[in-house]
Chain A
Amino acid sequence: MTFQLDATLAARRFAVSLSLGPTETIAILGPNGAGKSTLLSIISGLLRPDAGKATIGEKVLFDLDADKNIWRAPHTRGTALLAQEALLFPHLSALDNVAFGPRSAGASSAAARDTAMHWLTEVDADSLASRRPGQLSGGQAQRVAVARALAADPDLLLLDEPMAALDIHAAPLLRRLLKRVLAGRRAIIITHDILDALMLADRVIVLEDGRITEQGPTREVLEKPCSRFAAGLAGLNLVAGTVSDAGVTTAQGMVVAGQRDGTIEPGQDGVAVFPPSAVSVFLTEEHGSPRNSFQVIITDLEPHGDQIRVRAGRLSADITPAASADLGLTPGMSVYFVIKAAAIAIYPA
Chain B
Amino acid sequence: MYRRSGTGYTGIPAWIYAIAAAGALFVLLPLMAMVARVNWSQFIPLVTSESSRTALGLSLRTSAASTAACIVLGVPLALILARSPFPGQRLLRAFVLLPLVLPPVVGGIALLYTFGRQGLLGKSLELAGIQIAFSTSAVVLAQTYVALPFLVVSLEGALRTAGNKYEAVAATLGARPGTVLRRVTIPLVLPGLVSGAVLSFARSLGEFGATLTFAGSLQGVTRTLPLEIYLQRETDADAAVALSLLLVAVAVAVVGLSYRRPRLGVAPEGAVR
By the criterion CB–CB under 8 Å, are B165 and A75 in contact? no
Closest to A105 in B: B174
How many angstroms from the CA of A79 to the CA of B168 in the assembled complex?
A: 11
Residue of A nearest to B266 (CB): A90
CA distance A197 to B14 in the complex (A): 57
Instruction: Determine the distance from Cα of A78 to Cα of B169 in the docked complex, in whole angstroms.
Output: 12
- The residues of A that contact B269 with a CB separation of less than 8 Å are 85-88, 133, 138, 141
Task: Tell whether A75 pairs with B177 under 8 Å between CB atoms, given A44-B172, A89-B170.
Answer: yes
Q: How far is the CA of A89 from the CA of B171 in the complex (A)?
A: 13
A101 on interface, CB distance cutoff 8 Å: yes
Stretch binding the partner chain, chosen from B135-143, B151-159, B183-191, B245-253: B183-191
> In the bound complex, what is the Cα–Cα distance between A73 and B269 (angstroms)?
27
In angstroms, Cα B174 to Cα A198, docked, is: 30
Asked if B173 and A136 make an inter-chain contact with CB atoms under 8 angstroms apart, the answer reads no
Q: Which residues of chain A are within 8 angstroms of B272 by Cβ–Cβ distance?
A: 134
Which residue of chain A has the shortest Cβ distance to B162 in the bound complex? A90
Q: Which residues of B contact A104 (CB under 8 A)?
A: 170, 173-176, 179
**What's the Cα separation between A105 and B271 when bound, in Å?**
31
Q: Does B40 contact A (CB under 8 A)?
A: no
Q: How far in angstroms is the closest Cβ of chain B from A99?
A: 10
- Known contacts A81-B168, A87-B166, A104-B179: A152-B173 contact under CB 8 Å: yes
- A134 with B172, Cβ < 8 A, contacts A89-B166, A89-B184, A90-B267 known: no
B270 near A136: Cβ-Cβ < 8 Å: yes
Q: Mark contacts of A128-141 with chain B using CB atoms, 8 A cut-off: 1 yes-contact digit, 0 otherwise.
A: 00000110111001
**Which residues in chain A, 87-120, are within 8 Å of chain B measured between CB atoms?**
87-92, 100-101, 104-105
Q: Does B273 contact A (CB under 8 A)?
A: yes
Residue of A nearest to B169 (CB): A87
Beta-carbon contact of A138 and B175 below 8 Å: no
Complex: how many Å from CA A141 to CA B269?
9
Q: What B residues does A154 contact at CB under 8 A?
A: 172
Question: A154–B172 Cα gap in the complex (Å)?
Answer: 9
Cα–Cα, bound, A91→B171 (Å): 17
- Which residues of chain B come closer than 8 Å to A74, judged between CB atoms? 168, 171-172
**A76 vs B174: C-alpha distance when bound (angstroms):** 6
Contact B270 A137 (CB under 8 A): yes
Please give, as numbers and ranges, the residues of chain A lying within 8 Å of B273 by CB-CB distance: 134
| Contact between B168 and A75, CB atoms less than 8 A apart | no
Q: Please measure, in the bound complex, the distance between the C-alpha atom of A92 and the C-alpha atom of B183, giving whole angstroms.
A: 9
Q: A136 — which chain B residues lie within 8 A by C-beta? A: 270
Residues of B within 8 A of A45 (CB): 171-172
Say which residue of B166, B174, B176, B180 sits within 8 Å of A152 (CB atoms): B174
Contact: A83 with B165, CB < 8 Å?
Answer: yes
Chain B residues, Cβ within 8 Å of A88:
269
Q: How far is the CA of A157 from the CA of B22 in the complex (A)?
A: 59
Residue numbers in A under 8 Å from B172 (CB-CB): 44-46, 74-75, 77, 79-81, 152, 154, 158
Q: A83 to chain B: which residues have CB within 8 Å? A: 165, 169
Inter-chain contacts of A44 with B (CB < 8 A)? 168, 171-172
Name which residue of chain B comes closest to A81, CB basis.
Answer: B172
| B186: nearest chain-A partner, CB-CB | A91
B174, B183, B269 — which one has the most chain A CB atoms within 10 A of its CB?
B174
- The residue that B174 contacts in the complex, of A87, A101, A137, A158, with Cβ under 8 A, is A101
From A73, A100, A158, B183 is in contact (CB under 8 Å) with: A100
Interface: A149 (CB within 8 A): yes
- Give, as a whole number of angstroms, the nearest-CB distance from B185 to chain A: 10
B174 touches A75 (CB 8 A): yes
B53 to chain A, nearest CB (A): 40
Residues of chain A contacted by B180 (CB below 8 angstroms):
75
A79 to B273, CA, bound (A): 33
A86 to B165, CA, bound (A): 11
Q: How far is the CA of A70 from the CA of B188 in the complex (A)?
A: 32
Cα A76 to Cα B273 with chains together (Å): 36
Contacts of A36 in B (CB 8 A): none
Output the least CB separation between B190 and chain A (Å): 8
Which single member of B176, B267, B270 contacts A75 (CB below 8 Å)? B176
Please, how many angstroms separate the alpha-carbon atoms of A74 and B177 in the complex?
10
Residues of A within 8 A of B190 (CB): 91
The answer on a CB contact under 8 Å between B175 and A75 is yes
Cβ contact within 8 Å between B168 and A134: no
| Complex CA distance for A90 and B268, rounded to whole angstroms | 9
B169–A81 CB distance below 8 A: yes
Is A224 an interface position by the 8 A CB rule?
no
Q: Is the CB–CB distance between A100 and B188 below 8 Å?
A: no
**Known: A91-B188, A104-B175, A152-B173. Is A138-B270 also a contact (CB below 8 A)?**
yes
Given known contacts A87-B165, A90-B188, A80 and B270 CB-to-CB distance under 8 angstroms: no
Q: Determine the chain B residues whose CB is within 8 A of the CB of A81 once the complex forms.
A: 168-169, 172
| Cβ–Cβ contact A46 & B187, under 8 A | no
Which residues of the partner chain B approach A91 to less than 8 Å between Cβ atoms? 187-188, 190
* 7 examples of A-B residue contacts, CB within 8 angstroms: A76-B174, A87-B165, A87-B166, A100-B173, A100-B175, A104-B173, A154-B172
Report, nearest first, the 4 A-B pairs whose CB atoms are least far apart: A104-B175, A74-B171, A81-B172, A101-B173
B→A interface (CB under 8 Å): 165-166, 168-177, 179-180, 183-184, 187-188, 190, 266-267, 269-273
